[in-house]
Structure 1
Amino acid sequence: MPVTAQEALRITRVLETELDKRQAKIKVWNDFFVGKHNLEWASDRFRQAFGGLFANFSDNWCEVVCSAPAERLVPIGFRFGTGDDGDPAGADKDAQRIWQASNMDAWSRVAHTEAMVKARAFVLVWVEDPNADDAEPEITVEDATQCIVAYEPGSRRRRKAALKRWDGEDGFTYATLYLPDEIWKWRRSSTVSGLVLPEALTAGWKPRGDDPDQARIPNPLDRVPMVELRNRPRLIDEPSPEHANVIPLQGAANKLIIDMLTASEGGAFPARWGAGIDLPKDPLTGQEIDDPELWRLSVSKMLRASNPQAKFGNFEAADLRNFVAGITLITEHISALSRTPPTYFMGKVENVAADALTASEAGLTSKCSEKTTFLGEDWEEVMRLAFLVKGDEERGKNPLAETIWRDVAYRTEAQHIDAVLKKKALGVPWRQLMEDTGYTPTQIDRMEKMLEADAERAARALAFKPPGEEDFPDVEDEGAGDRTGDEVLVP
């Protein structure tokens, strides 16, 4: 049902308040992903030894933990139930065209990375003029710091409202409220002469434009056109980023490495000592001269002493292997908690069997398979909205939509093809085998046409006998040389 402007403003403020509550956590999660780690706990000795050399230091494993699953989640097409004759439907070509038109083959990967880092990502489906005959949907990926979706009470699926808020370059903050029946557009002043105003002075949203009625736009989709991609969804608890459990261990790894750097500066090089050495004396005062330059050794200097009882020696250098063992232990814990293969944390891999590498990736493969289930439901809703924009209610309300994903498991080419050939022996159809091989629906369609063309060429070739086996018609000798026109003369 349509709402009044006052009710729309109330919903906007409620969603904005909740959006503001999320900002602090999102900033921390994003900072750890990009390597902005807090080093306030670093010792004074570390600062004295290195100054600002390592001011932005981080041994960043959070980026690895978030990127490892995100890079394997690649949607390659969509299906919509079965055909009219009951046969299983292949990849929908219209869905593929809409997907490509919005560059979603690239931006879907950005959406997955954002969801891994910030626990959520958002996808907006809209069109400038939904009532136009040639309306084409536009799919855009939105940031978790700018968007929020509210659901019906007791549901995590039925969207009640959505809000997008962003700062413009003209000194105004803009907001768009998405409701099932209508869309409200607001703006408010955020700066004066380049100065950011206090929030209390900018709380009032006003319609965009002079006429308040211009703020309201009908929504012909009858649905909230924004979809939330949730990472690690829960029933009651909020979704969480991929590196939520890794952040404390990341801090521990940073501290051990900083301690190792500090120890290397102070004790990694063997210090020398001397005993029973007669120091030179000042001829005027008779006091011993303790000049540090006398003890700065190099290849062109040597130590000598007039006292035959003098002794020289070296202190043992600090053993940094204890730090290395601690750092290795922490990275192993990060690998286990995040189900990221140990090979992602190793600088090199030696003498590891292929089966062992495959087994080490089982956890990540299982995790990615689980994510395709939940994220696939969200992408299916996105594509349904896209067809609703085009006025196609058959596919826009089809509950049998299915996302086609690229295989999330990494295999060698030999292992992959061997598995496909074994499926073929079981009777798996050719098109399914091509999907399992990793080809996109567009590539499969192209190969299918190429196979048809090859079959036609082979059929034409079989229509002619090899040279020397042709069947020639009987030709009488008399008058054979007098035939002209279209008749073929056979020698």
Structure 2
Amino acid sequence: MPVPAQEALRITRVLEQKLDERQKNIAVWDDYYGGKHNLGFASPRFKAAFGGLFGTFADNWCEVVCDAPAERLTPVGFRFGTGDDKEPAEADKDAQRIWQASSMDAWAKVAHTEAMVKSRAFVLVWVEDPDAEQSEPEITVEDATQCIVAYEPGSRRRRKAALKRWDGEDGFTYATLYLPDEIWKWRRFSLSSSLALPASLTAGWQPRGDAPNQQRIPNPLGRVSMVELRNRPRLVSDPTPEHKGVMPLQNAVNKLVADLMVAAEAGAFPARWGTGIDLPKDPITGQEIDDPELWRLAVNKMLRASNPAAKFGNFAAADLSNFVAGIELLTGHIAAMSRTPATYFMGKVQNIAADTMTAAETGLVAKCGDKTTFLGEDWEEVMRLAFLVKGDTKRGNNPLAETIWANVAYRSEAQLMDALAKKKTLGVPWRQLMEDAGYTPTQIDRMEVMLEQDSARAARALAFGVPEGDTTGDVPPADAAPVPEAA
């Protein structure tokens, strides 16, 4: 049902207000991921004395906490089930083509990282070229600072509306409102612009486009074409970024590292002392000459004293091990709270067995497995929308869609091959074994063709008696006429 312009404008303003409310938190989370930290636990005296030295310093572990799960979340394909157990669903080749055409094998990684950092990321599905005879879907990843999705009351899945707002380079701020049946385009004068525009353009949101049919576009999909990827979704509370719980610990680490550097500058080198030393006197005034150059030691200098009772020595250097122990304790807490393997926080990893490495990553693997469950639902909806763009309502409304993920667990090559060999003895089909081995559907299809070619080549070689291992000669086809023997 078409929405009146005033109602569309009201929805736009409501969504924009909610989007503005999120900006402060998103900015803080993004700063911590990027290493822009305030020295949170420093005293006023410390800040007054050393604040200028550590204004841009951060021993940034928030980036590690966010990147650790994001780097393991890799969608490699999609299936669309038929509901018939006798016909197992294979990886959909059309879905793979759409995915590759939009470069989503790369941008999906960006979407996951953005969701880990900002608690949300957004994916927009629309027509690549509206004027083309055959509609081709275009999938783009959108930023949480520019987009927001609203849901139907009482639902966490049915999208009611979505808004994307961004600043143009022409002095205007643009917005697009996505509704199930139509799309509204707006623009307004940007307050940061120096352009002098008529008052009619500075009064707020105005329809965008020169013609009426460019201001309101029908949405043939029948659904809001923007999908929200939520990190750590909750029932009532908002989703949270991956590093929110460790941000206070990050502040404590920064404080200890700053203290360590100050102590290293002031007391890490032993200071020397001397007693009973007679200072030289000025022959005219008789005053002692306290020349600092007399006490500057170097490899070509030595101290001497005429007083037999003079003594020399040096103070002990400051012990920095207490700071190191405190930093290691805090990074251990960060690893435990975020379920990030301790090996991610170590400078060197030596003599760690594969089984030990696997056990250390149990928490991260379990966490990534949970994320694939929720994110997989979102990517399936993205692919349904892509097929709706193409007019394929069968796959566009298929509730049995499934995202195929790369294995999130770390395994050595020997461990993986051993597991596959055991699965084969249980009767696991070859294609499933290849998926478990980490090959993408495209690679598996290619290997199947190569296996068929190898089988045909071996059959021809057997039929015509070509020596085993000789693949250099041409093997005649099976229906070729026999070659007469030489006289």
Fold match, TM over 0.5?
Answer: yes
Q: Secondary structure of 1:372's match?
A: helix
- Aligned counterparts of 1:420 and 1:94: Cα–Cα separation in 2: 29
- Aligned counterparts of 2:215 and 2:75: Cα–Cα separation in 1: 36
Which residue in 1 is equivalent to 2:413? Answer: 413
Which residue in 1 is equivalent to 2:430? Answer: 430
- In the superposition, relative to structure 1, how do residues 265 and 114 fare at CA in structure 2: closer, same or farther (>3 Å)? same
- Aligned counterparts of 2:45 and 2:20: Cα–Cα separation in 1: 39
Percentage identity across aligned positions? 77
1:238 Cα offset (Å): 0.4
1:193 Cα offset (Å): 5.9
1:132 Cα offset (Å): 5.3
Which residue in 1 is equivalent to 2:110? Answer: 110
Q: Secondary structure of 2:464's match?
A: coil
Which blocks of at least 5 consecutive residues in structure 1 are unaligned?
468-485
The residue correspondences of 1:10-409 to structure 2 (distance < 5 A) are 10-39=10-39, 42=42, 54-82=54-82, 86-127=86-127, 133-191=133-191, 194=194, 204-211=204-211, 214-409=214-409
1:424 Cα offset (Å): 0.4
- Aligned counterparts of 2:394 and 2:121: Cα–Cα separation in 1: 27
Alpha carbons 2:184, 2:216 under 8 Å: kept: yes
Which residue in 2 is equivalent to 1:478? Answer: none
1:209 Cα offset (Å): 2.6
CA deviation vs aligned residue, 1:262-306 (integer Å, no higher than 9, x gap) = 001110000011112122223333222222222111111111112
Q: Secondary structure of 1:463's match?
A: helix
- Farther-moved stretch of structure 1 (131-140 vs 222-231): 131-140
Which residue in 2 is equivalent to 1:7? Answer: 7
CA deviation vs aligned residue, 1:421-455 (integer Å, no higher than 9, x gap) = 11001100000000000111011011111111111
- In the superposition, relative to structure 1, how do residues 291 and 202 fare at CA in structure 2: closer, same or farther (>3 Å)? farther
The letter of the residue matching 2:139 is I
- Aligned counterparts of 1:33 and 1:364: Cα–Cα separation in 2: 19
Alpha carbons 2:171, 2:195 under 8 Å: kept: no
The letter of the residue matching 2:436 is D
1:352 Cα offset (Å): 2.2
Alpha carbons 1:274, 1:310 under 8 Å: kept: yes
- Aligned counterparts of 1:16 and 1:22: Cα–Cα separation in 2: 10
The letter of the residue matching 2:388 is L
1:211 Cα offset (Å): 4.8
RMSD: 2.4
- Aligned counterparts of 1:71 and 1:172: Cα–Cα separation in 2: 37
Alpha carbons 2:40, 2:251 under 8 Å: kept: no
1:247 Cα offset (Å): 0.8
- In the superposition, relative to structure 1, how do residues 205 and 51 fare at CA in structure 2: closer, same or farther (>3 Å)? closer
- Aligned counterparts of 2:248 and 2:295: Cα–Cα separation in 1: 45
- Aligned counterparts of 1:285 and 1:51: Cα–Cα separation in 2: 46
The residue correspondences of 1:463-478 to structure 2 (distance < 5 A) are 463-465=463-465
- Aligned counterparts of 1:45 and 1:234: Cα–Cα separation in 2: 41
> What is the number of equivalent residue pairs in this alignment?
470
1:460 Cα offset (Å): 2.0
- Aligned counterparts of 2:229 and 2:450: Cα–Cα separation in 1: 38
Alpha carbons 2:354, 2:411 under 8 Å: kept: no
Higher Cα Rg, which structure: 1
- Aligned counterparts of 1:126 and 1:22: Cα–Cα separation in 2: 26
CA deviation vs aligned residue, 1:224-253 (integer Å, no higher than 9, x gap) = 000000000000000000001111111110
Which blocks of at least 5 consecutive residues in structure 2 are unaligned?
468-481
- Aligned counterparts of 2:354 and 2:187: Cα–Cα separation in 1: 58
Which residue in 2 is equivalent to 1:477? Answer: none
- In the superposition, relative to structure 1, how do residues 356 and 202 fare at CA in structure 2: closer, same or farther (>3 Å)? farther
Q: Secondary structure of 1:229's match?
A: strand
- Aligned counterparts of 2:483 and 2:44: Cα–Cα separation in 1: 105
- In the superposition, relative to structure 1, how do residues 385 and 466 fare at CA in structure 2: closer, same or farther (>3 Å)? closer
Alpha carbons 2:54, 2:258 under 8 Å: kept: no
Alpha carbons 2:41, 2:252 under 8 Å: kept: no
Alignment TM-score, normalising by the size of structure 1: 0.91
- Aligned counterparts of 2:462 and 2:15: Cα–Cα separation in 1: 71
- Aligned counterparts of 1:213 and 1:260: Cα–Cα separation in 2: 65
- In the superposition, relative to structure 1, how do residues 384 and 430 fare at CA in structure 2: closer, same or farther (>3 Å)? same
